[in-house]
Chains A and B, each alone.
Chain A
Amino acid sequence: MNDRSAARILSATAVAGLAGAAATGPLAGWERFWINWVQWFLFLLTIGLGCLFIVALEHVVGAKWSVPLRRVPERLSSLILLVSPVALLGLLSLRVLYPWAGPESLQDPLIAGKSAWLNVPFFTIRVAACIVLWLLSYRIFVRGSMRQDQHRDPGFNVRVRRFAPAFMALFGITLTVMAFDWISSLEPEWYSDVFGIYIFAGTFLAGLAATTLAVQYLMARGRLPGVVPDHVYNLGGFLFAFTVFWSYIGFAQYMLMWYANLPEEVFWYKERLEGLWGPLLLALAILHFFVPFFALIPRDAKGSPRRMFWVAVVMLVAHWLDLYWMIFPVIGKDPVFSWPEIAFAFLFVSTALLWIRRAMTRGADMPVGDPFLREGLEFRL
């Protein structure tokens, strides 16, 4: 199948998905519509943010090995551009999904106590501020890097190296705000200090998995000359390490709440363990931790394209499942997966792939203006 026919198929599935998604509101209820909306825009947004984090990480630590690969996460992080308007439209979901957004919620003392933070105007300001900060960072990191292709100014590296640590702090705060606002405030009585870090672990893994897939896509087409399995090995090392990080944070959050057994904390897990959600959580643990961890243990596995491809695919599915397990229990006792979810999957995944396909044509395939490119290409384990 060539690229052009793939694009045609993607356009067709996107249109079909759009029709299905549009029918969801009237036919399956607006709650179902908006929950899918939030689920899917967060899925794409976390991939984009994870990729932006990978770019910033390279600048913070001054890594050389990742310079030849950097254009891939740079391009993928443009998903933030695609998702920003979707996130702003998502503000319409507040009255439908978020209990604190209605005036009647103030009768609950637990929610009333949080009303200084959880109210529609401030929420909107926070969402907008996060998006502005992300877009600004995108502009500095990615646009700057693309411009460097032409003018080859090494000063760019110095400037972003100064900016990157500040971005790290901003990223930590904005990602935590995003996690608290969009996901955990679906059930505003619940709170978890470590929730932002948990979401960060998933975000970074999703970014790494998407980067791995895109790198393999480009390598298979010979568009990354000089990139060898040693480079892919490092991506694999990151994936390997952060599967452990994710499960560590996830389990620590669960275990502390399980131990303390406070009603305003455990109910969140109770909802997510009862009925079919329990087996779903088990599947999440297997896909998000056991499969990638044991698949990547051998040294040769991290550089093997085939193994890395499957691990990355499993990781993206697991990341989606992770969000699904956190978000969907608010609309019902049992997991729902039917035509609305499939329609939204078609719409968002197809659109994202079309967007990435277009992004893959922007600029050179490697940061040709970066003075460290040569050194990066010479990287061997």
Chain B
Amino acid sequence: MNRPVFSVLGLFDSAQQLMDAIPAVKGKVSGRLETYTPYPVHGMEQALGLRKSPIAGMILVMGLIGALSGIGFELWTEAVDYPMMTAGKPYWSWEAFVPIMFETMVLFACFTAGLGMLFLLNRLPTFRHPMLRSKSMPLITKDKLALAVESDGQSLDVGAISALLESLGARSIEVVEQPPAAGPASPRFLFRFAVGVAVTCTAAGYLTYWGVKLLPKTVPIVHMLDQSRLNPQREAPFFRDGFGMRVPVAGAVARGFMPYQMHSESEADLLANPLPRTEDVLRKGRRDFNTYCSVCHGILGNGMPTLTAAYGAKPANLVSETIRGYSDGRLYRAIMAGKNAMTPYAAELSEEERWAVVHYVRVLQRALNARDDDIPKETRK
């Protein structure tokens, strides 16, 4: 039974003989030229006229993509999505991001180089390459060099090629046939493969299970946990007062915060509301007022709480004439420092939110004490 011919190959003794033979064969016969050598032979690409490998360009592009992904990911997570200040540096600290950018660049480039070369360009694993069944293969992997004329779809002129190779000094000629057509995806192969995977997984599972059960317990590597450090809310004999948590140094100011220094209401009158009266600010003020203030002061700010009088104290009527006469700074101080039975809301509301609430309180005051000319002309009766 004759199978289609894959290639005709001749074995040569030296690289020089092989290199000399290539131009003599090139163009003389139909088919694709290919060489098989036990070691890389310099100048082979040029002799065979192979095109330049695209791997270099692939690596460059993937390296750049890796670098951009790395720095973009850091920028997004550290400065945009969840801004996090590390070591007192700005959110966007490109200096700190460069090493990781470099690593992701190398990672992408290396994977492209390795995997791209093996799987994309060399098309490994080619289990059924015809050459794997060649009788010359053991010699080629030892010390012989092979020049092969491979079929490019058409049938080869075996006699002419053999004669040509022999005339060029080939030691022996082999005609390599196409392997039988049945592929690795035959039902028999797939069944064996599935059984193999199942057996391996089961064995690995049981081995792990009994290994963990029977072998003496090894302590996992916990060096990072084992360091001497202070947990929050714990004692610390290291400090004289025995507290692990420290009070900031006197006069320390948190980044982005001005300390509140108004010690009395008359001093507070000096503060002006820094926020503009825009719709956006008022909207935020309403949200926070409804969340925190309306529980006692009422949704309209008129001292009619949603909680009943069972609460005991009588919440202030924010729209009363007295409080309408208060300055913005004094209202702010009430939120900041509390007033009478009211506790401070400094921890709940940020500086900006407090001022927004003050603005909103003014809106309520005006709304419940509207003058005639506040109503648009056409709707007046």
Contact = CB atoms under 8 A, between A and B. Distances in A.
Contact of B56 (A251, A255, A299): A299
Interface residues of A, number: 11
B214 interface: no
B95 A254 contact: yes
Interface size class of B (residues with CB under 8 A): under 10
Interface string A238-268: 0000000000000100110011010000000
B95 A255 contact: yes
Interface string A161-176: 0000000000000000
Nearest to A248: B102
B98 A297 contact: no
Given A259-B87, A297-B60, A380 B42 contact: yes
A220 interface: no
Nearest to A381: B42
B96 interface: yes
Nearest to B86: A259
Contacts of B42: 380-381
A298 B60 CA distance: 10
A119 B87 CA distance: 38
Contacts of B88: 261
Interface in A261-283: 261
A299 to B, nearest CB: 7
A251 B98 contact: yes
Interface string A276-314: 000000000000000000000111000000000000000
Given A380-B42, A381-B42, A259 B96 contact: yes
A194 to B, nearest CB: 15
Interface string B337-355: 0000000000000000000
Contacts of B95: 254-255, 258-259
Contacts of B98: 251, 255
A270 B129 CA distance: 63
Nearest to A297: B60
Contacts of B99: 255
Contacts of B56: 298-299
Contacts of A261: 87-88
Interface string B75-99: 0000000000001100000011011
Contacts of A380: 42
A102 B324 CA distance: 71
A228 to B, nearest CB: 13
A301 to B, nearest CB: 11
B236 to A, nearest CB: 26
A259 to B, nearest CB: 7
Contacts of A381: 42
B297 to A, nearest CB: 47
Interface in A210-259: 251, 254-255, 258-259
A364 B95 CA distance: 50
B342 to A, nearest CB: 43
A236 B99 CA distance: 26
A251 B94 CA distance: 12
A255 B96 CA distance: 7
Nearest to B57: A298
A230 to B, nearest CB: 10
A297 B109 CA distance: 14
A298 B95 CA distance: 28
Interface string B52-76: 0000100010000000000000000
A262 to B, nearest CB: 12
Given A258-B95, A261-B88, 14 more contacts: A251-B98, A254-B95, A255-B95, A255-B96, A255-B98, A255-B99, A259-B87, A259-B95, A259-B96, A261-B87, A297-B60, A298-B56, A299-B56, A380-B42
Query: 5 tightest A-B contacts by CB?
Result: A258-B95, A255-B95, A380-B42, A251-B98, A297-B60
17 contacts: A251-B98, A254-B95, A255-B95, A255-B96, A255-B98, A255-B99, A258-B95, A259-B87, A259-B95, A259-B96, A261-B87, A261-B88, A297-B60, A298-B56, A299-B56, A380-B42, A381-B42
